[in-house]
């Protein structure tokens, strides 16, 4: 695409037009309910991680105080810093929501960005609702344009699509003009970042990606509002967003804005029952059921049929995945998670400490967990599980899970989301009374001013 054949109407312009025309009063009930669930979930996750070393490090690295709340902390920060700290904490334990078509984690990016922007600029709850709904929808749709290619290119989809989604969400909360939104999209693409080398040794950088994307979205929206020009062909251009992060300019671009505001993929957002990589969840369910049927000492091999797109993150290098180097690395090891589910009967926050991943019984079983690529696996459109166990006497026992629990086919109820919230805030050190107060605050957020003071420490 040369400068002589640029489109008359760019994809960013189509998306901006749809966002600008959106009336929050017409938001479907299911979308509003999902945004309410998202608020409950992310606040709980921010609290559960608030005392972790990586959150303390990010907080200590922020030297810009201001009026915005870092959830679970006494100190007040600038909007960008609050978005950075909250996003990092929410995504940090890998217990946050997932869009199965991506896969991406929208809540950890969009909610911190929109809330911080609303706090700083005195916007109300309806502005927050508009921003969260638009930001999540934009981020999720972007992840379906060229599925799996961003991961294959070495980038974290939550990081790069999150920056764009955050710009859309904050821009929607600000009610930017179409031109201002286009400029924000064009600018934030140059701020997007996040490589997946954290997989090598379980480093902390993935945790930072959501927060970095959140603060980038705020800055880009403010630049767009101020008239800073960005390229309108940011999505489809020969040097554009998908060229840079997916090594292609081909894709289903209609997925971005084609029926935006008419059909909401946000309704299908999944909430995690386990604090680890989402694609592993159906295998955990299979392993828990297998544990009720067979003795681990009788197992010769556990063969898992998997989607090809998951192998480079969750299965290879295989020897390292069978024996993760630390607790965080365990979250991205399907052999470890499967063995943990089998041996311990569940997979929870305590299963990803450095001590837990050295458990001899779990490692002994993890050494027997192998994989083979199933060319018919529907990943990333659907997350499934299939484990075939061979026993010492030659018997073969199988379990299948056709979808991810917590997702579109078996969503968590509001009560489930609240129970998860209580589990998380208790883990983070809050009392039952404090938890009840926080739930009340979150439940009223879309009804009045955005005031997060009661979520401070």
Phi, psi (degrees; rounded to nearest 5) at 240:
-85, -170
pLDDT tens-digit map of 224-273:
999 999 999 999 999 999 999 999 999 999 999 999 999 999 999 999 99
- Strand pairing category for 369-373 and 299-306: parallel
Residues 87-120 pLDDT 10s:
999 999 999 999 987 889 999 999 999 999 999 9
- Are β-strands 369-373 and 385-391 bridged in parallel, bridged antiparallel, or unpaired? unpaired
Q: Which helix (H) or strand (E) holds 390?
A: strand 385-391
**What confidence score (pLDDT) does residue 385 get?**
97
CB-based contacts of 283, cutoff 8 Å, min separation 6: 304, 334, 337, 338, 341, 385, 387, 401
Q: Which pLDDT belongs to residue 200?
A: 86
| Residue 63 neighbours by CB under 8 Å, 6+ apart | none
Q: Which of 218, 143, 165, 169 is nearest to 24 (CA)?
A: 169
Position of tokens 């919230």? 421
Per the structure block, which two tokens stand in for 355? 């001590």
Tell me what pLDDT residue 4 has: 56
Q: Which two tokens stand for residue 338?
A: 């499967």
pLDDT per residue, tens digit, the chain (457 aa), is 555 578 999 999 999 999 999 999 999 999 999 999 999 999 999 999 999 999 999 999 999 999 999 999 999 999 999 999 999 999 999 999 999 878 899 999 999 999 999 999 999 999 999 999 999 999 999 999 999 999 999 999 999 999 999 999 999 999 999 999 999 999 999 999 999 999 888 899 999 999 999 999 999 999 999 999 999 999 999 999 999 999 999 999 999 999 999 999 999 999 999 999 889 999 999 999 999 999 999 999 999 999 999 998 899 999 999 999 999 999 999 999 999 999 999 999 999 999 999 999 999 999 999 999 999 999 888 899 999 999 999 999 999 999 999 988 899 999 999 999 999 999 999 999 999 999 999 999 999 999 999 999 8
The predicted structure's pLDDT at residue 276: 94
Report pLDDT for 199. 84
Q: Give dist(CA 350, CA 88) in Å, integer.
A: 19
What is the pLDDT at residue 3? 53
């Amino acid at each position: 695409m040369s400068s002589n054949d640029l489109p008359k109407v760019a994809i960013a312009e189509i998306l901006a037009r749809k966002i600008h025309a959106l009336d929050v009063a017409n938001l479907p009930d299911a979308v509003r309910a999902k945004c309410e669930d998202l608020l409950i979930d992310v606040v709980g996750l921010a609290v559960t991680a608030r005392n972790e070393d990586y959150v303390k490090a990010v907080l200590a690295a922020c030297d810009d105080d201001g009026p915005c709340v870092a959830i679970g902390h006494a100190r007040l920060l600038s909007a960008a810093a609050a978005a950075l700290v909250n996003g990092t904490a929410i995504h940090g334990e890998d217990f946050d929501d997932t869009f199965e078509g991506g896969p991406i984690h929208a809540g950890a990016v969009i909610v911190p960005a929109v809330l911080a922007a609303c706090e700083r600029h005195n916007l109300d709850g309806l502005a927050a609702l508009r921003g969260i709904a638009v930001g999540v929808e934009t981020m999720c749709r972007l992840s379906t344009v060229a599925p799996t290619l961003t991961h294959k290119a070495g980038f974290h989809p939550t990081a790069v699509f999150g920056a764009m989604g955050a710009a859309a969400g904050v821009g929607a909360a600000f009610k930017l003009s179409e031109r201002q939104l286009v400029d924000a999209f064009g600018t934030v693409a140059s701020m997007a970042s996040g490589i997946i080398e954290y997989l090598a040794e379980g480093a902390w950088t993935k945790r930072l990606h959501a927060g970095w994307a959140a603060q980038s979205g705020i800055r880009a929206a403010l630049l767009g509002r101020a008239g800073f020009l960005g390229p309108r062909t940011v999505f489809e251009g020969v040097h554009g967003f998908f060229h840079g992060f997916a090594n292609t300019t081909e894709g289903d671009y209609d997925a971005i804005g084609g029926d935006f505001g008419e059909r909401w993929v946000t309704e299908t957002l999944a909430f995690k029952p386990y604090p680890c990589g989402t694609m592993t969840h159906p295998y955990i369910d299979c392993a828990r059921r297998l544990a009720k049927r067979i003795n681990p000492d009788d197992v010769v091999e556990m063969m898992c049929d998997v989607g090809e797109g998951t192998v480079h993150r969750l299965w290879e290098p295989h020897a390292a995945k069978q024996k993760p180097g630390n607790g965080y690395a365990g979250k991205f090891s399907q052999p470890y998670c499967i063995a943990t589910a089998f041996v311990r009967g569940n997979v929870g926050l305590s299963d990803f400490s450095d001590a837990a991943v050295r458990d001899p019984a779990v490692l002994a079983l993890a050494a027997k967990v192998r994989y083979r690529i199933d060319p018919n696996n529907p990943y990333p459109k659907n997350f499934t599980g299939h484990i075939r166990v061979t026993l010492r006497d030659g018997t073969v026992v199988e379990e299948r899970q056709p979808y991810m629990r917590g997702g579109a086919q078996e969503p968590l109820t509001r009560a489930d989301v609240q129970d998860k919230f209580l589990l998380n805030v208790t883990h983070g050190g809050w009392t039952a009374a404090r938890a009840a107060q926080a739930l009340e605050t979150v439940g009223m957020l879309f009804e009045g001013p955005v005031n997060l003071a009661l979520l401070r420490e």
